[in-house]
Amino acid sequence: PEPPYRPERPRPQTPPSSRLRSSRGDPHDGLEGAGLARPHTPSGPKVSDRPIVALAGGPAFTFSYAEHAELLSAAGADVVTFDPLRDEGLPDGTGGLVVGGGFPEVYAAELSANELLRKAVAELALGGAPVAAECAGLLYLCRELDGQPMCGVIDAAARMTRRLSLGYRDAVAVSDSSLAAAGTRMRGHEFHRTVVEPGAGAAPAWGVRAPEKRVEGFVQHGVHASYLHTHWASSPGVARRFVERCRTS
């Protein structure tokens, strides 16, 4: 049989500075950011009612709208970055998790080898904490990626393909989740060459109208995971909802 398609891809580089932020223009121009997030450093207990939201970063998770960290902070959270390739645990006191886009397929073996962090992510997610995962984050939460064990939060398998899925999307939340109430409308984009099988759970995340009408993604426990990179400024209430769920979960 033909071996699985594994295109040669250079290790991702930091995007040019002109693309790091959306600069309050077209919200879909910038893909990398989280400029307000602080590096993960061990710390003692926080005397604060601000929940800690862990934000995945490092070489495997390079793409995130800067406004996401800003909106989370404005909603009352402390955003702390961590590197799933290096860190063996989530930031101390983590009450919620955001895992955005990137290139987990390039680093699948290294991500899989970090078993302590995979276990910590699974325990957090399956314990009901709010988790928002988009594209690369979705793959990381799956059972496996190209045969490499991932976090196993979502009972689905991801693999690389030759087909590129690319374009802006208008989406409607299908299921109530820690991120969005059913019926919430969001703008976002897709950009990936992977597929997840199955493509949607019993409670899908989004209904997408174009380029074809479909549902996709997964809502379970406190997890909202899908391929769609949403721009939270298109519906700022999602950040407030997420932070409030972090406080009460």
| pLDDT surpasses 50 at 129 | yes
- Give the predicted TM-score (pTM) of the model: 0.78
| pLDDT surpasses 70 at 138 | yes
At 179, the pLDDT band (50, 70, 90 cuts) reads very high
User: Hey, which residues does 142 pair with through a beta bridge?
Assistant: 154
| Catalytic residue (choose from 135, 142, 151, 246) | 135
- Burial (CB count within 10 angstroms: exposed 0-12, middle 13-18, buried 19+), residue 210: exposed
Q: Domain 17-157+221-248, CATH 3.40.50 — does that match?
A: yes
Average pLDDT, the chain: 82
Enumerate the domain spans of the chain. 17-157+221-248
Whole-angstrom distance, CA of residue 219 vs CA of residue 204: 6
At 32, the pLDDT band (50, 70, 90 cuts) reads very low
| pLDDT surpasses 80 at 131 | yes
At 242, the pLDDT band (50, 70, 90 cuts) reads very high
pLDDT at position 98, please?
98
94's CB contacts (< 8 A; 6+ apart) are: 52, 53, 54, 80, 124, 129
pLDDT at position 86, please?
97
Structure-block tokens of residue 246: 């972090």
pLDDT at position 207, please?
82
135 catalytic? Reply is yes
For residues 158-186, give the mean pLDDT: 86
